[in-house]
Amino acid sequence: MRVVILAGGRGSRLAELTEIVPKPMVHVGERPILWHIMKYFASFGHKEFVIALGYKGDVIKEFFLRYRLLNGSLTIDLASGATHVHDGIVDDDWKVHLVDTGVATGTGGRLHRLRRWLRDEPFLLTYGDGLADVEITNVAATHRRCGTLATVTAVRPPSRFGGLTFERDIVTDFVEKPQIGEGWINGGFMMFEPGVFDYMNDQTDSLEKEVLERLASDRQLAVHPHDGFWQCMDTPRERDLLEDLWMRGRAPWKRWT
């Protein structure tokens, strides 16, 4: 299946980083978070991507245009300008469609503008700012079993603060950043049938506030609960958390070698 990645938002809460690059290009380790997301999907065999561009989309285009050049040895003939890549990366045998969807377009509108790129077939979708260890094959299995037009992965987000239990003046239990005990949210990692486009009025729709709500009201939205790792990157602190996991070799989303 093709994988849609919504990568057009501004990332205003990461303003100190996104003044120069779009949010999906903020690095975790030595590579943009967008690369980590794509590597994750590719590890399940999904290697064709449709990326919805918006804010500073040219930075994402430049990254992929230069991808092979920057990951291999080069011979450059300065007289003629000819360039030869000797051993560029061959592991990432992806096909990447980079589609301009407008700077101010909503998430539903971005998906609407990708319709002709999706071959009227089922497709996967996620956001360009979150990582997880969701089993994509299980999401697809849930989707097919339920027979709905859409399936969303539900997660319990990690708390931003440590939790503690105490009796009188003595702490009896302390947990650093526990999972929230109740309440599920949309964690991305979705699967859609082409019929979802019938639930979009126009290109101004929000995927979350309008399209998914319409699907839910018609009982066409299934859920795949995920109790494992999930982390968005909305703030510098969350980016630092992902960076720390990656640099210490403890990144739960790293399924590749």
Residue 211 CA: distances (Å) to CA of 108, 191, 220: 7, 14, 11
Please, are residues 46 and 137 in contact by the beta-carbon 8 Å criterion? no
**Residue 114: which pLDDT band, with cuts at 50, 70 and 90?**
very high
Question: If you average pLDDT over every residue of the chain, what do you get?
Answer: 88
Check the CA dihedral 172-176-181-182 and report its sign: positive
**Residue 161: which pLDDT band, with cuts at 50, 70 and 90?**
low
Domain assignments of the chain as residue spans, ordered by start: 2-152+184-247
**pLDDT, tens digit (0-9, with 9 covering 90-100), for 191-248:** 999 999 999 987 788 999 899 999 999 999 999 999 999 999 999 999 999 999 999 9
**pLDDT, tens digit (0-9, with 9 covering 90-100), for 88-113:** 555 789 999 999 999 989 999 999 99
Q: Quick one: fold of 2-152+184-247?
A: Spore Coat Polysaccharide Biosynthesis Protein SpsA; Chain A (3.90.550)
Greatest pairwise CA separation for the chain in angstroms: 79
**pLDDT, tens digit (0-9, with 9 covering 90-100), for 20-37:** 899 999 999 999 999 999
